[in-house]
Amino acid sequence: MNTGKKTNYKSWPFKEAQRIVKFVGPGGLSNEAVFQTGFGPSGLPHIGTFAEVARTTWVRRAYEKLTGAKTRLIAFSDDLDGLRKVPDNLPKPEMLRQNLGKPLSDIPDPYGCCESFSGHMIGKLKEFLDTFGFDYELRSASQAYRSGEFNEGLKLLLQNVDKILEIILPTLKEENREGWSPFFPACESCNRLYTTRVTGYHPDEFTVDYVCDAPFGEVMGCGHEGTASVLDGGVKVGWKVDWALRWFSYGVNYEMYGKDLIPSAELSYKIVKIMGGAPPCGFFYEMFLDENGEKISKSRGNGVSVEEWLGYAPVESLAYFIFRDPRAAKRLHLDMIPRTVDEYLDNLRRYRDMDEAKRLDSPLWHIHGAGASVPEYGSAINFTMVNNLVSALGNPEAELVRGFMTRYDAEVAKYPDVVDTLVEKGIAYYNDRILPNKKYREPTDAEKGLFGDLKEALGAVGASEMSEKELQSLVFDIAREKDVEPKDLFAAIYQVLLGQERGPRFGTFARLVGVQRVIELIDERGL
């Protein structure tokens, strides 16, 4: 195996790949490297779910580039988890309430289009992952437990249950320690998992005794007593033990997890060693927050969904946002989209002039399939400019927007794929995010005079041929002549002409939409 001699990579996925090389030791891996990411289908997948798969994929590709080794990625869905509460953002709440405590794979789809609750959520996740072309193997808890895929690991867990209890019990609150078990038998009477409580272990028979009398969320066990096999789906193990079971069964070499799961990862490391397996190389990341600074939740549906982002911006911009420092918490709201797209486009402009070494450290190499599909883009037009153009033209047809863009920068015609996406998303962003929030302020009498001066200056012979710099200076000249603060005049242009608190640099805006259109805007406002 090539262990990769280069040590000066700047991008974090390559640094992670180098860490994996050190983690597995000088002998390397005898077979392929296994990467894993997990998903709890208790609600619609959000950007955090998408991000975990994306980031793991980028480390995987960097590892392949560094070592030449074969790899695979397992995307694991815990669809045997019990539904603890009714999510706020799903239909048919009464039906879901009747199924509380049951495995997600055994609950009907509230949308009525898939075979189960979890089937719908997993299908949505697959749509998102396939949109970006990720290469992964989709596995589920229901399949892994019920097919016997986890049987060998479950036998080891039962045979070592005392050692596992010694590790986990001290980490629990004292009131939760008595009667705690890593196993949750499936009640043969009510089909609930987490309402059961183990009352006896039988390692030789691979069975446990149980009583279904525990509370789980809003439900209580049915009171049934019985004996269940730990094999073939007769039980599920709790989260921290389940994680170790997956690592053991699949031979996982690398997994990411949120910062809040560090204690769980540390326990799982100990448990997988008891089973005779090796813990993976782990990496924790900070969480995504909504605009109020609260953690994004599937059940609450706060924050930005993948669907929302893709409605207003190209998928590559979402990947770019996710790529940036995973160890830094990120506030995620729709108003960040234009700036993020602009940063992505700026990276596109610079990428084409980079040599191979610098490209490997560019975010674009990672988010575009190890550099295989990075589009070219050399125009000065960015997404903010497209939004300003659409706003100034009053939600025009796409062809008209492209025409104005070409007049501003003829280079833009060379990049139809990028430009068409920017125009399509720009119009959608305007309709949903800008137009509903437009509030035109009425001008003061003094401002009416200033707008009259601006209209006269723009209507002068030759004004239409002015550069951005000259058009920008025009506003400064009018403000200076009338003894007005330039910032106040610029603010009036945004608030009175464009109906927004902040706006584009006037010179750039006037060149983009055309001097005549600025005059029309002044006329439309009756100034």
**pLDDT digits over 58-74, tens only?**
999 999 999 999 999 99
Average pLDDT value over all residues in the chain: 91
Q: Please report the pLDDT score of residue 65 as a whole number.
A: 94
Instruction: Find all residues with CB under 8 Å of 317, minimum gap 6, and list them.
Output: 309, 337, 340, 341, 344
Start-to-end CA span in the chain (Å): 73
Contact at 8 Å (CB) between 126 and 138? yes
Q: Please report the pLDDT score of residue 372 as a whole number.
A: 85
Q: Which helix (H) or strand (E) holds 257?
A: strand 254-258
Going by CATH, does the domain composed of 438-524 fall within 1.10.10.350?
A: yes
Q: Which helix (H) or strand (E) holds 138?
A: strand 137-140
Contact at 8 Å (CB) between 37 and 255? yes
pLDDT in tens, 211-255: 999 999 889 999 999 999 999 999 999 988 999 999 999 999 999
Domain locations along the chain: 183-237, 306-436, 438-524
pTM: 0.87
Give the residue with greater pLDDT, 295 vs 325: 325
Contact at 8 Å (CB) between 229 and 119? no
- Structure-token pair, residue 196: 């059961």
pLDDT in tens, 174-209: 998 999 999 999 999 998 989 999 999 999 999 999
Mean pLDDT (whole number) for 363-377: 92
Q: Determine what percent of the chain is predicted with pLDDT higher than 70.
A: 95
pLDDT in tens, 418-457: 999 999 999 999 999 888 888 999 999 999 999 999 999 9
Q: Provide the 3-class DSSP secondary structure of residue 313.
A: coil
Q: Provide the 3-class DSSP secondary structure of residue 1.
A: coil
CA distance 386 to 412: 12
Q: Please report the pLDDT score of residue 4 as a whole number.
A: 47
